[in-house]
Structure 1
């Protein structure tokens, strides 16, 4: 495995990487909100259901990332 790939995998599990993941996931929520608004104005039930399922996935993803961030914080305390 290359050094750059190893470094990239380490970043993904770092606090900075987790914050970046939270930001990008939250940014995805903007698209889902727009989709839901459009579905409501067009009375498109199927798209509204899709937006609701996507929103649930975003909330779940953010909860998992938050848990990971807390876990990383706990590790830092143990190391210090």
Structure 2
């Protein structure tokens, strides 16, 4: 066999996102959940159901880029 090709372990660009954290935030007005990533906390977010502003203090961590748990 000439050169052997290998399958990459991760998607291209994985290294840029491996430190991201995923948070689920509940809307204070209607209770709908919205997933927000840690690199998106620098901008305001609105609920997709009712349009109310999302309060980041109500968010809970649900996953990390380095986490081995299934998503």
Structure with greater strand percent: 2
Structure with greater helix percent: 1
